[in-house]
Amino acid sequence: MEKGERIQDIRQLSLDQLISQISDFGEKPFRAKQIYEWLWKKSATDFDEMTNLSLSLRELLRNKYLINKVIVSDEQISNDRTIKSGFKLYDENIVEGVLIPTEKRITACISSQVGCSLSCTFCATGFLERKRNLEIGEIYDQVVLINKQAEQNYGTPLSNVVLMGMGEPLLNYANVLQGIDRITSSDGLNMSSKRITLSTAGIAKMIKKLADDHVKFNLALSLHAADDEKRNSIMPINETNSLESLKEALMYFYSRTKNQITLEYIAFKDFNVGLDDARNLARFASNLPCKINIIEYNPIDQANFGRANANELDAFIGFLEKKGLIINVRRSRGKDIDAACGQLANKSSKVVDK
């Protein structure tokens, strides 16, 4: 390698690019397909694992490429069996992911960025600096590692993946879609797209782009207020992506994909669960094929929001149900280890490599 030449992460290459480069080395194209299978189907993170390749080819790969693998640097298990992991990246940055086991499913909640730039006032990640986007392999590795946790701790593989961790997935659009492709494709982990949900704070033009790209996974909008003034106050992204534009984008998304839409709505005390708020939410959800997940608020050190009381919340939900809306109440899991919705902020215990 010439001085100053940057060694490349092999997982940044498409199959076609890999075939081209391997052919330039004088190898047959089928060798590239073998390498691709090791990377994405067998989840290899070391060239020495690729045992059907010659020693000379493995040595060439080591000299030309690297694999920027993710490692579990910290792991905490909640009283409710939720597992939160600190994932250390090649550049020493840390992101967090969560394994959420329930009776019906085992879900991986994964991150898409190191930090976040959206500054939602109720979310711990929103108080972090956005350092960079996660790469394709880093998105993929989180699923592989959490799946390993599921099998080792609970004897069953993952059933679902949600991109609801740190960062805004639609601000890392290309890497997120390619990462999901590696997770769902037959030459990757072969997970059903219907088991994948991408959650966004709401970027209308990118929601429409998802529709135009005919994605097969599900979409969730972190709504949390159905009044522009209120939503502006807790989610600055709403100032440039009004509720009207978001609803139009969601309608367009459904018309093109027929994929499930979920509205996520955190219930804050004395803020967004009054009857006027219920009317606004019912109006926003009208004619939109969706379900609504009501989420209990999880306190964070940086904010002074409170959790809605039971009577207030019951009246709010009752109004919505009378309007014929599908309502699910999601109880938070992993609160004792800061693994619940809105709590991910790299508060893991001391990092120790495994």
The dihedral formed by the CA atoms of 77, 299, 124 and 170, expressed in degrees to the nearest 10:
90
| Global pTM exceeds 0.85 | yes
Query: Which residue is catalytic, options 120, 123, 290, 341?
Result: 341
Give the per-residue pLDDT at 134: 98
Cα 85 from Cα 95, distance rounded (Å): 8
Give the per-residue pLDDT at 6: 57
Give the per-residue pLDDT at 306: 87
Other Cβ atoms closer than 10 A to 276: 11
Give the per-residue pLDDT at 350: 34
Question: Domains, the chain, ranges and CATH?
Answer: 8-66 (1.10.150.530), 71-337 (3.20.20.70)
Give the per-residue pLDDT at 122: 87
Q: CA nearest 109: which of 193, 166, 180?
A: 166
Cα 120 from Cα 229, distance rounded (Å): 14
Give the per-residue pLDDT at 234: 95
Query: Which residue is catalytic, options 75, 96, 138, 264?
Result: 96
What is the chain's percent helix, strand, coil content, to nearest 5? 40, 20, 40
Give the per-residue pLDDT at 89: 97
pLDDT in tens, the chain (354 residues): 444 355 899 999 999 999 999 999 999 999 999 999 999 999 999 999 999 999 999 999 999 999 999 999 999 998 889 999 999 999 999 999 999 999 899 999 999 999 998 988 888 777 788 999 999 999 999 999 999 999 999 999 999 999 999 999 999 999 999 999 999 999 999 999 999 999 999 999 999 999 999 999 999 999 999 999 999 999 999 999 999 999 999 999 999 999 989 999 999 999 999 999 999 999 999 999 999 999 988 877 777 788 898 999 999 999 999 999 999 998 655 455 454 454 445 554 333 333
Give the per-residue pLDDT at 1: 42
Could you list the beta-strand ranges (E) of the chain: 8-9, 65-66, 71-77, 83-88, 94-101, 106-109, 113-114, 132-133, 160-163, 196-200, 218-222, 261-267, 291-296, 327-330
195 backbone φψ class: left, alpha, beta (φ>0; ψ -120 to 50): alpha
Q: CB neighbours of 221 closer than 8 A, spacing ≥ 6?
A: 199, 200, 202, 246, 250, 261, 262, 263, 264
Give the SS3 label for residue 295: strand
Residue in the block written with tokens 């088991």:
195
Let me know if 116 is a catalytic residue.
Answer: no
Cα 135 from Cα 121, distance rounded (Å): 26
Let me know if 290 is a catalytic residue.
Answer: no
Give the per-residue pLDDT at 7: 84
Give the per-residue pLDDT at 343: 45
Residue in the block written with tokens 């991408």:
198
